[in-house]
Amino acid sequence: MSEPAKRSFIVDLSGQVALVTGASQGLGKSMAIELARNGARVACVARNADKLAQTVAEITAIGGQAEAFACDVKSRESVDKVVDGVADNWGRLDILVNNAGVTRDTLLPRMTDDEWDDVLTTNLRGAFLFARAASRHMMRARYGRIINISSVSGLMGNAGQTNYSASKAGLIGFSRSLSRELAGRKVTVNCVAPGFIESEMTQVLGPVIIEEAKKRIPAKRLGTPEDVSACVVFLASAAASYVTGQVLTVDGGMTG
């Protein structure tokens, strides 16, 4: 029996402003498109201006609104400039999706200082910088949604990914603590933890490893970017106003 056709999760985000980091490709691109499809005006943030332009073009093609912002997520000055610029020029900032991330996989005895620092700085410090800048605007508005993209690697670990797993586990602790700080201002903070998702990152693993991964997944398939984006859209919506400090795992049952 074939799977049912994919359908977008539909909510009304009309008039809201969303900012998505790592929006130039993969999951970030999918999230930006789905937020725009549901009515949000989207600030697409990444380092690669050419790829960002493609994301914006796809959003425009479906009738959405978006603009590209090249940014080094590790730089406080760069992050503050983008966040404050979007909030001031667009009049508000309702939704932040911290998705930007990198991997530098290798076993710990071989891992260099730079490979550790690059992953922790991009994946964890970057989320901190964006959340800090965005939360100031959200607290004043007494409304906001902060969604941090973690990973099942942050829940269960993965050999060769001590740096990546540490950064993604750190995001979970960061999110749970921040949710307690901001709940009184009607700002929610949650994590989405994808498992094996069809993307540029999983394609490089090769067919043998992918088939082995499928055997470990009760759903017997890799997830799609749309599977993750639907969860992000839900957490960004008014329907999720009483959901905060949570980790929504999207892994086909792998972590059970």
Catalytic: 164? yes
CA torsion 31-34-35-38 (nearest 10°) is: -170
Task: Tell me what percent of the residues of the chain surpass a pLDDT of 70.
Answer: 95
77-96: burial string, b at 16+ Cβ within 10 Å, e else = ebbeebbeebbeeeebbbbb
CA distance 155 to 256: 11
DSSP 4: P
Task: Give residue limits of the domains in the chain.
Answer: 17-244
Domain 17-244, what fold?
Rossmann fold (3.40.50)
Q: Catalytic residue among 164, 223, 250, 251, which?
A: 164
pLDDT at 6 over 70: no
Is the sign of the CA dihedral 27, 29, 32, 38 positive or negative? negative
26 vs 199, more confident: 26
Residue 156 exposure: Cα atoms within 13 Å on the Cβ side:
12
198 vs 162, more confident: 162
Whether the CB-CB separation of 165 and 124 falls below 8 Å is answered with no
Tokens (6 digits) for 166: 């540490």
pLDDT at 178 over 60: yes
Residue 215: per-residue pLDDT: 86
207 vs 115, more confident: 115
Location of structure tokens 């999110």 = 175
Which tens digits make up the pLDDT trace of 111-169? 999 999 999 999 999 999 999 999 999 999 999 999 999 999 999 999 999 999 999 99
Confidence grade of residue 10 (pLDDT, cut at 50, 70, 90): confident
Residue 252: per-residue pLDDT: 96
Residue 8: per-residue pLDDT: 62
Which tens digits make up the pLDDT trace of 208-242? 878 888 888 999 999 999 999 999 999 999 999 99
**DSSP annotation string for 67-130:** EEEE--TT-HHHHHHHHHHHHHHHS---EEEE---------GGG--HHHHHHHHIIIIIHHHHH
pLDDT at 60 over 80: yes
Confidence grade of residue 201 (pLDDT, cut at 50, 70, 90): low
Residue 203 exposure: Cα atoms within 13 Å on the Cβ side:
5
CA distance 146 to 229: 14
Whether the CB-CB separation of 253 and 219 falls below 8 Å is answered with yes
Residue 5: per-residue pLDDT: 46
